[in-house]
Structure 1
């Protein structure tokens, strides 16, 4: 455990202007508040916040963050209040400690909805000040280092899994690679102990066989650069077991086939020296094709900048080399934590530019919250962003767009601007028209073709790779669905008001908005269309003293109409598929224009359409208030097709199926699906789903089929 003076000296070593008195006060305050509390290891509890503060000093964070580390458990685990911390250490530190406390109280578990909601709270807490997350990461890192003291295996598993799922990826997303790697490896040790132990033993054997290989390669690299008068620092290291394991899994290779278990870092003075160093390496040793990445000209989203290359280097060994400047190295080591280091040194503008992409990711998440995305969508979007590699594409004007691997032009369009994504109808990739589902590659130039009449297609969701695109597509689908429900609700309300002899308008309907606690008339009507609110209840809310309400209810309680009856009934326009907004066909039924139909209102689902002779309607006999009068609304000039199902008994002879298919085509029908539920030596049954215009069209096809010599019978259904 760090002593008080050791902690203070650490901070003063990188920040001579630090408030030494405040650090000493916080150390004493925390010690006194935690008193005799013990950890699972048996150590004094205050050893934990001291170690957390020590980890934060390794990131060279500001005084306020170090003090927050010392006090981060006082509100949760002692009688300390936020106002007490504010009085002793100021509003900024009190706010930080309170933010970390809120994060600590979140319970992560396997229940998806609960985990998603907690992740939403997590993001809200850390979005106010990213230092809250940095303290929480340091807290989690020390807890993982001491996880073996927890006796219950299931608790260790839960903590390790949430670290692997949430905290390690977040550390990586914030550019803090060292912390990410340690969190992953500590989790790996708990989640897959046997695999890690086997891997560690094999790595130990390799280390013994190549005992001085890292030193030899390091010396050769130094000598090579010195000969070219390039001043460098070279570091070699063995990769963490989990990092090695992940590469083996990703490439589906064995440890013996994995050549780059050692990594070398070359630190130079300037950006120009980075490219000189690459030239020296590639001149002396051959480069491995496909293993060169320039993250200096195209930085990663977390601010990481470096050049990566793999060469067939000294002793014919594959050597992975990362080349960067000292500042790039600090950013790679400390990630977003380096922002405060540069800010406190006075490099405010440079610091803001360096880390703008990192903050942009967080801003996108907050933007999703503001647009009403669900907690589950937010969690999904975050995981998509946390666990993906990148491709770099360009607009026709040369603007760089960074996307996850597997992204398509739809992702590109939404990355440029939401409006461009919403109105996208096509694209050109490198000057050629290409499908919107084309996966983009590094260096592609993408031009988006737009139309103001376009709206996002729900099918886009199946091939987009970014959470931003997926969220926008779902938002548009929800809006479209709500408008369809609102249209249906307006038809139902209008029908009810007319039956009661009352005029309906938005100004009249506004009387009912407050009664049902809705935002506006559209939301009210959508709820009616979905079945959450009865149309007669809206009528009662708008006209509390109405006398004809019983007549209206009676008129709506199950009387079925056809197109020849009164037009003052609910009109529902149905298409050939099984759902349309808040209207859908009952499962296993295939009504057609010409059939008598009835609608059943189901709360949360809208209206389900049944043929009037459906046996399923018997279950609603006691709920006449749910019965809705509906009519077909089909324009004969439109070639709208509907699904119908017929079953044939066919003699088993050569050419029978061909004759049936030909007849259906000649009668302007289309086979949507075909199956043979039953088959024997002489006869087989043939079930066909047809696309037809109406009942008359289906009847003509069935009559013609009955005339074929090989067809024994034709029935509908």
Structure 2
């Protein structure tokens, strides 16, 4: 058999849907020495066996606390069964066994035993705290799911659970390690779950969230097994095909593996490396499938299915061994990576290289060279720091996580995301990272996902730098903000005081942190527009009724309108969820019963058509005019229902209607007698048999792209606006300024169109045009 046939935590891979008995938390067969702890079958672990394993790496462990945690867990789960019919206590005991295999501390082991007690039994957190202390209680609380949330979808519930996990692990990373051990055992026993949709949902969640999380804290063994188990469930046919091909290769290549292993050992010893240990392995089935999909290549074209790991005593020996390997075999171009001088964000260190074996074999292999300590960190990630004391401890022995920059990035995503689903989406962007490494002008190393842009770099340095970014220099040359960064690039971000994110950035950023921040700004801009529109609509509605519409009156009506704040009320009115008259009636309930008397204004003639523009007449829905007076809307400010308006008398032309803030009114300041106090007849507008439309003018700054005009018109149409005129007033190489006249019903409708345009791709700035 091919050595390292499964290369994952636990026993060899089971046939699809067939039961299996998983082993302990270490990689299976390899040729040569593997410094990982010995594998112990999970089912063979009792409480006594668990304690023996803990004492093997921590002779001073408080085993009495572990025994008490086991007894509490066994009593709490006494009447519960697993899907396979076994007593439920086998699950927390297996989770604790996985944590012991990772050499975790006593608090983590107790948490593994107790992690389901609060969620699935009658035990409460205060009881846990009284018996086991605040540390264990806090860890259990962090792992516990939010089972009682009444949310609208399973995906939202999943997102809320994950939000809680992120907050908990930001305080103590052991929460995540326990959660991963819990998920690992659940995946090992997933085949006992009868419902196919439930199995696939759990496997999909594991593949999307928990496997990447394991990778981000460097727990490669856990990540690999989670991926393989999920792959078996989600893609059983592809998995079976790859396994069949691997089985064939194992039969063909067993002798080659041992020959190459001995040859690598000899080369390193001859080069002066004092001691060396070489193991051979093969890639996991999921890793093979993923690479085939990403590169669109066949199984036979993969160059690194066969890989060798060389363990040497020191960092210097790593480079000596690398020189020996490169001297003996032809190097595959582009396959060398030095993660020792430039470690990955999760602390991973190793030298990777690809070489071709000499004739007659002519096979391509991958060689990884590292020290034993680097290997332990590579396999167990953060968990290895409990052995090497590299992570440090905070108050009361709580491990620090400040060095884990990605945890802080997840916290910023959590803060900036508006909805659970959005947080989950942006988190996935942050977790799936094939990294490049860039430098600031001061030499700070910034790891970024492949495909990252200067905007992603700016947000990685600091959120405020990202918000105020206006340009970037890459390796001393001015480059577009959408430029794709490469390994080793030096990036200088240019900022402007008062600068703001552009909604168009969302089209090319690749980090979840940047996307969440940009979306937060766009949402805030839309909210501001709706607040202004809602405030204006309510002021008009109250003034029309002759009633007090002050904030004190509105605050008294908030409860009845189910709005938590005054700003939320303005937003609801501005986006059309509430009508202004509904708010007036909520503030003055007597208006719902009392009929309104006739208004003391001249009656208006019936409208001849729905549209009103600058060439209109006194058929407009206005009050304060005499009968038969010719009236026009000003073409400079394009007033709309909802605007404060005034009339200007022009000899021989009747009355021209302007907005109260129109700059043209300054030219009439010397003749105040020409001003007429007029207003919209909102009652006539509301009871009109046809919808009255008006022309609103919008100023847009957009990217100079062939599809931008289609984007403008289609977006306006989606918001029930009709573009009647469009003029490009300034056109440059990368942007253009456009004036658009849109038929809308009122100010609120125009605000809706503006909000829609601001969120459209390729559009940088949208404002209502001013005279």
**What range describes the TM-score normalised by the shorter chain of this pair?**
0.7 to 0.9
Is there any run of 5+ residues in structure 2 with no aligned partner, and where? 1-43, 626-631, 644-655, 658-682, 702-707, 714-724, 730-737, 744-771
Cα distance, 1:61 vs structure 2 = 0.5
Report the aligned-residue RMSD. 4.6
Residue 254 of structure 1: which of 298, 307, 312 is its match? 298
Q: Deviations over 1:294-313 (max 9, x none)?
A: 22232222222222211224
Question: Do residues 370 (structure 1) and 415 (structure 2) align?
Answer: yes
Whether contact under 8 Å (2:268, 2:321) holds in the other structure is yes
Specify the SS of the correspondent of 1:210: helix
- Tell me how far apart the structure 1 counterparts of residues 70 and 540 of structure 2 sit (CA, whole Å): 73
- How many residues are treated as equivalent by the alignment? 612
Does the C-alpha gap of structure 1 residues 524 and 27 become closer, same or farther in structure 2, counting only changes over 3 Å?
closer
Question: Do residues 27 (structure 1) and 73 (structure 2) align?
Answer: no
Does the C-alpha gap of structure 1 residues 363 and 573 become closer, same or farther in structure 2, counting only changes over 3 Å?
farther
Question: Do residues 304 (structure 1) and 304 (structure 2) align?
Answer: no
Question: Do residues 461 (structure 1) and 503 (structure 2) align?
Answer: no
Whether contact under 8 Å (1:313, 1:319) holds in the other structure is yes
- Tell me how far apart the structure 2 counterparts of residues 128 and 158 of structure 1 sit (CA, whole Å): 29
Specify the SS of the correspondent of 1:151: coil
Cα distance, 1:70 vs structure 2 = 1.9
Specify the SS of the correspondent of 1:141: helix
Cα distance, 1:180 vs structure 2 = 1.0
Q: Deviations over 1:64-92 (max 9, x none)?
A: 11112122233344443333333332232
TM-score by length of 1: 0.74
Q: Tell me what 1:10 maps to.
A: 53
- Tell me how far apart the structure 1 counterparts of residues 499 and 411 of structure 2 sit (CA, whole Å): 27
Q: Deviations over 1:18-50 (max 9, x none)?
A: 102212222333334433644333333322222
Residue 336 of structure 2: which of 292, 295, 308 is its match? 292
Whether contact under 8 Å (1:409, 1:438) holds in the other structure is yes
Residue 333 of structure 1: which of 379, 384, 390 is its match? 379
Question: Do residues 91 (structure 1) and 101 (structure 2) align?
Answer: no
- Tell me how far apart the structure 1 counterparts of residues 131 and 452 of structure 2 sit (CA, whole Å): 51
Cα distance, 1:265 vs structure 2 = 1.8
Specify the SS of the correspondent of 2:341: coil
- Tell me how far apart the structure 2 counterparts of residues 518 and 186 of structure 1 sit (CA, whole Å): 47
Whether contact under 8 Å (1:512, 1:538) holds in the other structure is yes
- Tell me how far apart the structure 1 counterparts of residues 436 and 412 of structure 2 sit (CA, whole Å): 23
Does the C-alpha gap of structure 1 residues 91 and 353 become closer, same or farther in structure 2, counting only changes over 3 Å?
closer
Residue 451 of structure 1: which of 480, 488, 496 is its match? 496
Whether contact under 8 Å (1:303, 1:355) holds in the other structure is no
Cα distance, 1:5 vs structure 2 = 2.6
- Tell me how far apart the structure 2 counterparts of residues 364 and 17 of structure 1 sit (CA, whole Å): 37
Q: Deviations over 1:517-569 (max 9, x none)?
A: 65655444333222234334555677889999957999999999766776999
Question: Do residues 237 (structure 1) and 281 (structure 2) align?
Answer: yes
Q: Tell me what 1:429 maps to.
A: 474
- Tell me how far apart the structure 1 counterparts of residues 689 and 497 of structure 2 sit (CA, whole Å): 40
Question: Do residues 51 (structure 1) and 94 (structure 2) align?
Answer: yes
Whether contact under 8 Å (2:393, 2:400) holds in the other structure is no
Question: Do residues 482 (structure 1) and 527 (structure 2) align?
Answer: yes
Specify the SS of the correspondent of 2:442: coil
- Tell me how far apart the structure 2 counterparts of residues 332 and 109 of structure 1 sit (CA, whole Å): 40
Does the C-alpha gap of structure 1 residues 480 and 432 become closer, same or farther in structure 2, counting only changes over 3 Å?
same
Cα distance, 1:629 vs structure 2 = 8.1
- Tell me how far apart the structure 1 counterparts of residues 500 and 83 of structure 2 sit (CA, whole Å): 57
Q: Tell me what 1:154 maps to.
A: 197
Residue 104 of structure 2: which of 49, 58, 61 is its match? 61
- Tell me how far apart the structure 2 counterparts of residues 552 and 429 of structure 1 sit (CA, whole Å): 71
Residue 573 of structure 2: which of 509, 518, 528 is its match? 528
- Tell me how far apart the structure 1 counterparts of residues 144 and 585 of structure 2 sit (CA, whole Å): 49
Residue 385 of structure 1: which of 409, 427, 430 is its match? 430
Residue 134 of structure 1: which of 170, 177, 180 is its match? 177
Q: Tell me what 2:648 maps to.
A: none
Is there any run of 5+ residues in structure 1 with no aligned partner, and where? 584-595, 598-619, 646-666, 672-689, 696-717
Higher relative CO (Cα under 8 Å, sequence separation at least 6) belongs to: 2
Cα distance, 1:465 vs structure 2 = 0.5
- Tell me how far apart the structure 1 counterparts of residues 412 and 336 of structure 2 sit (CA, whole Å): 35
The answer to which of 93-102 and 546-555 deviates more is 546-555
Whether contact under 8 Å (2:171, 2:401) holds in the other structure is no
Whether contact under 8 Å (1:512, 1:541) holds in the other structure is yes
Does the C-alpha gap of structure 1 residues 215 and 484 become closer, same or farther in structure 2, counting only changes over 3 Å?
same
Cα distance, 1:261 vs structure 2 = 1.1
Whether contact under 8 Å (1:106, 1:118) holds in the other structure is no
TM-score by length of 2: 0.69
Does the C-alpha gap of structure 1 residues 316 and 453 become closer, same or farther in structure 2, counting only changes over 3 Å?
same
- Tell me how far apart the structure 2 counterparts of residues 170 and 437 of structure 1 sit (CA, whole Å): 28
- Tell me how far apart the structure 2 counterparts of residues 347 and 232 of structure 1 sit (CA, whole Å): 33
Q: Tell me what 1:168 maps to.
A: 211
Does the C-alpha gap of structure 1 residues 533 and 39 become closer, same or farther in structure 2, counting only changes over 3 Å?
closer
Q: Tell me what 2:366 maps to.
A: 320
Q: Where do residues 188-199 of structure 1 align in structure 2 (5 Å cutoff)?
A: 188-199=231-242
- Tell me how far apart the structure 1 counterparts of residues 292 and 103 of structure 2 sit (CA, whole Å): 34
- Tell me how far apart the structure 2 counterparts of residues 84 and 354 of structure 1 sit (CA, whole Å): 27
Q: Where do residues 299-698 of structure 1 align in structure 2 (5 Å cutoff)?
A: 299-313=343-357, 315-343=361-389, 356-357=402-403, 359-371=404-416, 373-501=418-546, 516=561, 521-536=566-581, 538=583, 550=596, 624=687, 632=695
Residue 308 of structure 2: which of 254, 259, 264 is its match? 264
Whether contact under 8 Å (1:109, 1:115) holds in the other structure is no
- Tell me how far apart the structure 2 counterparts of residues 265 and 55 of structure 1 sit (CA, whole Å): 24
- Tell me how far apart the structure 2 counterparts of residues 572 and 49 of structure 1 sit (CA, whole Å): 75
Q: Tell me what 2:124 maps to.
A: 81
- Tell me how far apart the structure 1 counterparts of residues 49 and 290 of structure 2 sit (CA, whole Å): 38
Whether contact under 8 Å (2:309, 2:369) holds in the other structure is yes
